[in-house]
Each structure stands twice: as structure tokens, then as C-alpha cells.
């Protein structure tokens, strides 16, 4: 991705800001609220796992209802806007991006619920190993969500490249953890249940990272009009 000039940045900022008014401003605020909740729930789910705290796990599960409600609300806003307005190109991209963003944010909320549920199960078992890699994964995913939200708020699509690179690192940690947990299971069959649950937790974080990467790609598309979703794959071929 090419870095835009300072003049191009300023021009883009002013042009985009002019669109965020009325219904589009309400839509933007709903997306930010949803992003904040998804980030918070995933953070609480991670804390419940590390601290072995079922109360926090239950909170993450219960609070997912608000994320689901916002997804429905945003979908209705998008449908209503498209049905009643004749939007310009940027507004059309915002409608398309909003629909995809809220879906990815809802899926991050779902991953938080899945992590919280596994956390409750793991609380009833003695720890298999010190939790180092999973908290590291979780911290990176939370950073990805925060950075993608910042790129959306600050209208800085150039920041999205770093988020996409972070997803590669999360994948690497997940593969490393899978190898380690598989070794535990081979060496001692009594560890299989706990190892599988930890493997699932790591996979849930990896999926949340994928959704955060999707959000970054959509933010880049929203503000530049360029679709970079398959750029990495194309560069490899």
C-alpha cells in the first residue's frame, strides 16, 4: 500500500468528514459502540481464562446480547438509508463497509462467548501449563481490533497494513501452540481434554484476529476505494 502525501491526507480528511452527518453520523457512532463492546467482551473473556474467573466469563457471555442487538440495528439503518437516499460513491462504500464491519464485530463477540465458555470448563480442571502463548495471542488480537477502530475513526487507512501483518503473527503463535499441545496429548492421555480446550481457545482467538483483519481491509476500502482483500495471495502467486 502506498503512503499518501500529507496534502492528499488533508484533502481526504475534509472530504470524508463532510459525509459524516445526519444518518451517517448515527451509523458511524453505532459501529464504534459495537467495536468497543466487542473489544471489551474479548478482553473480559481473556481475563476470565487467565484469572480462572467464571464470573467474568458469565459477564462476557451475557454482554454479547448487546452486540447482537447492535448488529440488527445497524443492518436496519443500512437498509433504510439505501432505500431512501441516492448516496454518492463514498456513502455507498460506507453502507457496504458498515454491513460487513458489523458482521465481523458480531463474530468477534461470538468468539468471546466461545472463549468464556471454555474458560468456565477449564476452571474446573487443574492448569495444564502456565498460560503464556494464549494471553500473548489475545493481546495481539485486542490490539488489532483497537487499531482497526482507530483507523476507522481517524480516517487513516494507511494504518491497516500493520494490522494485516499482525494477523500473520497470530497465525504463527496458534500453529506453535497447536504443536505444543499435541505433544502434551501424545505424552500423557490424561491431558487430552484440557489440551483440546486450550487448542479451541487459541483457535477462537485466531478467528477473532481474522475478523479484525477483515475490518482493517474494509476500512481501507472505505476510505480509498481499493479492495486489498486478496492482495497478499496475489503477491505470492
Q: What is the DSSP string of 27-53?
A: HHHHHHHHHHHHHHHHHHHHHHHHHT-
- Residue 237 pLDDT class (50, 70, 90 cuts): very low
User: Residue 143 is part of a domain; what is its CATH number?
Assistant: 1.20.58.220
pLDDT of residue 14: 60
> pLDDT tens, 115-158?
999 999 999 888 888 788 999 999 999 999 999 999 998 888 88
Is pLDDT above 90 for 10?
Answer: no
Q: Residue 146 domain-assigned?
A: yes
CA–CA dist 166, 77 (Å, integer): 32
pLDDT digits (tens, 9 = 90+) for 142-198: 999 999 999 998 888 889 999 999 999 999 999 999 999 999 999 999 999 999 999
Share of the chain above pLDDT 90, in %: 64
Residue 221 located in a structural domain: yes
Per residue in 26-72, pLDDT (tens digit) is 888 999 999 999 999 999 999 999 999 999 999 999 999 999 999 99
Would 1 be classed as within a structural domain? no
Rounded to 10 degrees, the C-alpha dihedral 50/56/59/60 comes to -10
pTM of the model: 0.86
Q: Quick check: is 31 in a domain?
A: yes
What is the domain extent for residue 21? 8-236
Query: What local confidence, expressed as pLDDT, does residue 234 receive?
Result: 34
- Residue 30 inside a domain? The answer is yes
Cell of 19: 459525509
Of the candidate ranges 18-22, 32-36, 80-84, the one whose mean pLDDT is the lowest: 18-22
Would you state the pLDDT for residue 94? Answer: 81
CA–CA separation, 221 vs 225, rounded Å? Answer: 5
Residue-averaged pLDDT of the chain: 87
Report yes or no on 70 lying in a domain.
yes
| Structural domain count, the chain | 1
84 within a domain of the structure (yes/no): yes
Contact 217, 210 (CB under 8 A): no
Residue 2, in any domain of the structure: no
Residue-wise burial string across 128-148, b where 16 or more C-beta atoms lie within 10 A, e elsewhere: beebebbeebbebbbbbbbbb
Amino acid at each position: 500500500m502506498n503512503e499518501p502525501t500529507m496534502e492528499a491526507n488533508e484533502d481526504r480528511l475534509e472530504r470524508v468528514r463532510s459525509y459524516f452527518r445526519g444518518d451517517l453520523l448515527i451509523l458511524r457512532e453505532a459501529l464504534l459502540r459495537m467495536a468497543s463492546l466487542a473489544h471489551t467482551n474479548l478482553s473480559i473473556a481473556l481475563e476470565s481464562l487467565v484469572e480462572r474467573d467464571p464470573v467474568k466469563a458469565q459477564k462476557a457471555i451475557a454482554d454479547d446480547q448487546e452486540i447482537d442487538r447492535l448488529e440488527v440495528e445497524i443492518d436496519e439503518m443500512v437498509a433504510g438509508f439505501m432505500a431512501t437516499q441516492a448516496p454518492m460513491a463514498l456513502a455507498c462504500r460506507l453502507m457496504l463497509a458498515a454491513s460487513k464491519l458489523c458482521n465481523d464485530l458480531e463474530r468477534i463477540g461470538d468468539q468471546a462467548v466461545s472463549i468464556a465458555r471454555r474458560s468456565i470448563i477449564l476452571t474446573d480442571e487443574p492448569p495444564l501449563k502456565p498460560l503464556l502463548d494464549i494471553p500473548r495471542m489475545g493481546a495481539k488480537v485486542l490490539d488489532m481490533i483497537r487499531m482497526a477502530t482507530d483507523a476507522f475513526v481517524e480516517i487513516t487507512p494507511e494504518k491497516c497494513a500493520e494490522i494485516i501483518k499482525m494477523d500473520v503473527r497470530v497465525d504463527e503463535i496458534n500453529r506453535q501452540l497447536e504443536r505444543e499441545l499435541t505433544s502434551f496429548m501424545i505424552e500423557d492421555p490424561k491431558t487430552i481434554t484440557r489440551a483440546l480446550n486450550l487448542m479451541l481457545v487459541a483457535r477462537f482467538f485466531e478467528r477473532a484476529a481474522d475478523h479484525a483483519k477483515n475490518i482493517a481491509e474494509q476500512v481501507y476500502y472505505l476510505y480509498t476505494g481499493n479492495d486489498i482483500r486478496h492482495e497478499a495471495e496475489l503477491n505470492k502467486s
